[in-house]
Every structure is written in structure tokens, then in C-alpha cells.
């Protein structure tokens, strides 16, 4: 519950999940639901799978094996996340969550090797899930909810409307992930992390990082 | 299966060319390099057809492939058609493949697989133009799976796309019918000067490992500037340049 709360002091409010760039590129308000559904089965699916795998590694690896196993998982995630801006913001948000986790679940997040970038958010989330006893299917649903809620919260700031309609959008988006919860929750091998590209979303994410007079960083 | 293999020999490079549904023809060769044209025999992919192309570039060799004509996938009669490409690059090997558009007509159901293995210091530049439908069509189904790893297993780019012209999805291709891509692996692309007055053009996605995707979403295959980006990146792959 705590992890799904956008008021958690982990910096997630700086992201619109590229919605701001999408709206400027002509995405209509009545297409936001379809955008959310596309995200769920593409980029969010990759994030959820990454989180599940991090949780699995934390629960099964010997302590000295965990850091290299996480590095290999992060390489698989990065190879499925082609945009530099997207990887950067996911690492910035991951580091925000890591700072919080270091207080709430000390020792849950192994430090990265010297010179390595911060762990991406789904990896940190998976490690926290392992420490907090969150089951894998709930972790997938948490990632799904978090992604949709981020977009909808941004929508209400960018194009104010009825917040109840926003809540309905979040519910519909989470339903789009539901058929994938089982297969994602069962993942154990980082090499088998699903890939599901969304070229327009990746384009918007890069555009967002260079948007003039933007409200959101991502 | 169509096979194109190049390896070092005493004198000019040795080539192994075997025809399949696509026919390789030698254009030229030298001490470490060769140029091959790939001719589509029939240039069509029908339901159930399976095209397989195997490309192997030996240590220190450079291969250029030019497609002669694009490929059109027609309506499937129940069975999906397949287009499988396997690319293996040896140590310091280089491949530039200027592929022509791949058109998926209404009712077609195509699976494309591209498996790439890069040896140490190898570089690849590959054009891929996916077109949903001919003029006036929305296009059929296209599932692509591109997996590129180094010989040691390091993942370079893993990208699966699930496209269906009959049900376009915002965030995937949106209303666009063309996904035009220049893929560079094994080298960082030259930094292009950004012209803020003219932001239109292919988006460059810099990969985590050395490499980049130059990509444009468009309404027609002729309207993108990916061909120009491809040529601006080619020197980074070319012999003696770019570094390993």
C-alpha cells in the first residue's frame, strides 16, 4: 500500500510517463485510455518483469551472488529500453526509491559497483518487495497501478478534468495488465525477460526530456 | 535457406553463396571485403512461406549487402509466413545491409526474427523499413523479434514488436504506417549537430551498449530521412574508422 502511494517521498511526481510530450504531439484526451493500455502491455510489462526478476533473485541468490546477478538483470532491462532518456529517468526514480528503502528496509538494496549507474526503479522495487514480503503477482499489479496512476495524475495537471474519470482510466489500465500477471509473476530467468517495444512511446519519452517549458521532467 | 558467408583467404576473401527464396549475387570483392546483392526471386511472401537468410562475416572482413527490390507479404491463408535472418559477425567484422522496405499487406500475418551475434570489435549497420499496407491499405499483422548479443552473451538490443494495421495503438505506432529504422551496433554514432529550428527527422535512441537506433515514424516510406542517417553513420562502421 505504502509503495503504491504517489505521496511517498521518492520523487515520482516529476514524471508524466511522457504524457506531456504525447499531448503536444497530438495525442487526444480521448486516446489517453488507449495509451495507458498500450503502455501496460509494452513498457510497463518490461518494468513489471524486471521487478519480478529482482525480487526472485533477492529471494534465491546467495548473498555474494546477488550483486552480479542484479547487474546481469539490469543489462537485460537496459537492452529492452532503447532510449537513453528513458533509462536515465528510470535510474533517477530508482535512486529516489533506494534512498527511502535504505531507511525503511536497511540492507535490502545492495550497493552498486563503483562507477556503475544507480539501479533502475523496477529493480529497487523488486528488492523492496522481497524484503517486505510482497508476493510476485501483487508486485506486477503494483507496477501496473503505479504506471497508470503516474499518467493520470499528470493528465489532471496538464488538462484538468473530472478526477473520477481519471480513476476510471486507472482501473481500465490495470485490467489490461491482468492477463499478463500470471506469466510475469512466474519469471525466474533474466534472459527470458519479455521485450515489447512501443516505438511511439519511446519517441515521446526522448522528446519529453528535451521539451521546452515543460511541467514534467519525464 | 539463403546463405552468405565471407572469410579471409590468401588473396581475395572467400565467399560462400547459397540461394534460397532470396538469391545472393556477388557484386565485387577485395582482400578483406565483399559486396553482395540480394535478389528476391518472386519478391513475395505468401501465407506459410518461410524465408531464411544466414549471414556470416568472418574475422576482420567487411560485407555490404544491397537488396534488389523490397519484399511484399500477402494475405495469409491461415498459416503465418516467416522471415528469419541470422547474422554472425566475427572479431572486428563489419556488415552494412541496406535493406529495402518490407510491406505487410491487408490480411497478411508475418513473423520476423532477426538474431544477431557480434564478435569483439565488430560493427553492424542495418536498415529496416517496416510498412503496414500498400497505398490505401491499413496493413496486416507483423510480429518482429530482434535479439542482438555479443559473443559473450551481453545483451545489446532485444526488441519485440507486435503490430497490427487493423488495430493501431497509440504509443506503439499510433496512426503511422511506416516504421523506418537504421540500427547501429558495436559503435557509437557520430554526434549530429541538433538544429532546434528543424526538429523533424529521425529520432536517435542511444543504446546502453555502444550502438543506436535512428528511427522515424511516418505515413510513407519515402518521407523519412533514415536513408540519409544511415549514410551519415556508415563511416563509423567502415574499414579503418570509428575504432573498435
**Angle at Cα B167 formed by Cα B164 and Cα B170, nearest 5°?**
100
In this predicted structure, what is the pLDDT of residue B241?
36
Q: Note the pLDDT of residue A2.
A: 66
Does residue B186 have a pLDDT over 70? Answer: yes
Residue among A14, A80, A5 at smallest CA distance from A47: A80
pLDDT band with cut points at 50, 70 and 90 for residue B199: low
Q: What pLDDT is stored for residue B219 in this prediction? A: 77
Q: Which residues of B touch A38 (CB under 8 A)?
A: 169-172
pLDDT for B196 beyond 70: no
Q: What ipTM goes with this model?
A: 0.94
Which three cell numbers mark B219? 505515413
Positions of chain A with pLDDT under 50 = none
Q: Which residues of B touch A206 (CB under 8 A)?
A: 203, 205
Angle at A53 (CA atoms; ends A48, A57), nearest 5 degrees: 150
The b-or-e profile of A58-80 (16+ CB within 10 A means b, else e) is beeeeeeebbebbebbbbbbbbb
Mean pLDDT over B196-208 rounds to 78
Length of chain B measured in residues: 244
pLDDT of the residue at B70: 85
Q: Which of A35, A197, A203 sits opposite B161 (nearest CB)?
A: A197
Distance from CA of A125 to the nearest CA of B (A): 21
Contact B185, B235 (CB under 8 A): no
- Residue owning grid cell 542495418: B126
Residues in A 24-83 with any Cβ partner in B closer than 8 A: 27, 31, 34-35, 37-39, 42, 75-76, 78-83
H or E element: which one contains B2?
strand B2-7
Q: Is B161 helix (H, G, I), strand (E, B) or coil?
A: strand
**B162 confidence band (pLDDT: 50, 70, 90):** very high
Given pLDDT bands bounded at 50, 70 and 90, which one contains residue B21?
A: confident
Query: For residue B193, what pLDDT is reported?
Result: 63
As given in the structure block, the three cell numbers for residue B145 are 523479434
Minimum CA–CA partner of B208 in chain A? A78
Contact A29, A159 (CB under 8 A): yes
Give the model's pLDDT for residue B240.
41
Is B128's pLDDT higher than 90?
Answer: yes
Give the confidence band of B121 by pLDDT, cuts at 50, 70, 90. very high
Q: What pLDDT, on the 0 to 100 scale, is given for residue A63? A: 92
- The domain spans of chain A are 15-208
List CB contacts of A82: < 8 A, sequence separation 6 or more. Answer: A197, A202, B157, B159, B205, B207, B213
B contacts of A151 (beta carbons < 8 Å): none
Does A132 lie at the interface with B, CB-CB under 8 angstroms? no
- Provide the mean pLDDT of chain B: 91
Does the reported pTM lie above 0.80?
A: yes
Cell of A200: 511511439
pLDDT at B64 over 50: yes
Predicted pLDDT of residue B244: 33
Q: How far is B171 from chain A (nearest CA, A)?
A: 5
pLDDT tens, position by position, B69-114: 888 999 888 889 999 999 999 999 999 999 999 999 999 999 999 9
Chain A neighbors of B208, CB-CB under 8 A: 75, 78-79, 81, 87
Please tell me the distance in Å from B158's CA to the nearest CA on chain A. 5
Mean pLDDT, residues B215-237 taken together: 87
Amino acid at each position: 500500500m505504502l509503495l503504491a502511494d504517489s505521496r511517498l517521498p521518492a520523487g515520482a511526481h516529476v514524471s508524466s510517463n511522457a504524457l506531456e510530450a504525447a499531448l503536444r504531439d497530438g495525442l487526444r484526451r480521448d486516446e489517453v485510455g488507449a495509451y495507458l493500455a498500450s503502455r501496460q502491455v509494452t513498457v510497463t510489462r518490461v518494468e513489471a518483469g524486471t521487478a519480478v526478476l529482482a525480487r526472485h533473485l533477492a529471494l534465491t541468490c546467495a548473498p555474494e551472488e546477488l550483486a552480479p546477478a542484479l547487474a546481469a538483470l539490469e543489462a537485460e532491462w537496459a537492452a529492452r529500453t532503447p532510449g537513453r532518456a528513458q533509462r536515465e529517468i528510470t535510474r533517477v526514480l530508482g535512486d529516489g526509491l533506494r534512498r527511502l528503502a535504505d531507511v525503511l528496509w536497511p540492507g535490502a538494496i545492495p550497493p552498486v559497483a563503483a562507477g556503475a549507474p544507480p539501479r533502475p526503479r523496477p529493480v529497487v522495487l523488486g528488492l523492496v518487495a522481497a524484503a517486505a514480503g510482497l508476493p510476485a503477482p501483487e508486485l506486477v499489479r503494483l507496477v501496473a497501478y503505479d504506471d497508470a496512476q503516474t499518467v493520470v495524475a499528470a493528465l489532471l495537471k496538464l488538462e484538468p478534468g473530472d478526477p473520477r474519470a481519471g480513476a476510471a482510466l486507472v482501473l481500465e489500465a490495470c485490467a489490461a495488465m491482468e492477463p499478463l500477471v500470471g506469466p510475469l509473476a512466474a519469471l525466474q530467468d533474466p534472459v527470458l525477460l519479455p521485450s515489447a517495444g512501443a516505438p511511439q512511446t519511446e519517441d515521446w519519452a526522448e522528446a519529453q526530456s528535451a521539451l521546452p517549458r515543460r511541467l514534467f521532467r519525464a | 535457406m539463403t546463405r552468405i558467408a565471407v572469410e579471409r583467404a590468401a588473396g581475395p576473401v572467400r565467399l560462400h553463396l547459397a540461394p534460397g527464396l532470396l538469391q545472393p549475387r556477388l557484386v565485387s570483392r577485395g582482400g578483406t571485403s565483399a559486396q553482395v546483392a540480394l535478389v528476391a526471386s518472386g519478391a513475395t511472401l505468401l501465407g506459410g512461406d518461410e524465408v531464411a537468410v544466414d549471414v556470416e562475416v568472418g574475422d576482420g572482413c567487411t560485407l555490404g549487402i544491397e537488396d534488389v527490390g523490397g519484399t511484399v507479404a500477402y494475405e495469409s491463408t491461415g498459416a503465418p509466413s516467416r522471415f528469419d535472418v541470422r547474422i554472425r559477425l566475427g572479431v572486428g567484422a563489419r556488415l552494412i545491409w541496406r535493406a529495402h522496405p518490407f510491406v505487410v499487406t491487408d490480411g497478411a500475418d508475418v513473423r520476423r526474427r532477426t538474431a544477431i551475434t557480434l564478435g569483439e570489435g565488430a560493427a553492424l549497420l542495418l536498415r529496416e523499413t517496416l510498412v503496414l499496407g500498400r497505398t490505401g491499405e491499413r496493413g496486416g499483422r507483423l510480429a518482429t523479434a530482434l535479439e542482438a548479443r555479443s559473443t559473450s552473451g551481453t545483451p545489446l538490443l532485444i526488441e519485440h514488436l507486435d503490430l497490427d494495421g487493423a488495430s493501431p495503438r497509440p504509443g506503439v505506432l499510433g496512426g503511422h504506417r511506416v516504421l523506418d529504422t537504421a540500427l547501429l551496433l558495436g559503435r557509437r554514432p557520430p554526434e549530429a549537430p541538433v538544429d532546434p529550428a528543424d526538429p523533424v527527422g529521425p529520432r536517435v535512441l542511444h543504446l546502453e551498449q555502444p550502438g543506436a537506433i535512428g528511427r522515424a515514424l511516418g505515413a510513407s516510406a519515402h518521407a523519412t530521412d533514415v536513408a540519409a542517417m544511415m549514410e551519415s553513420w556508415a563511416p563509423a562502421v567502415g574499414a579503418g574508422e570509428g575504432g573498435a
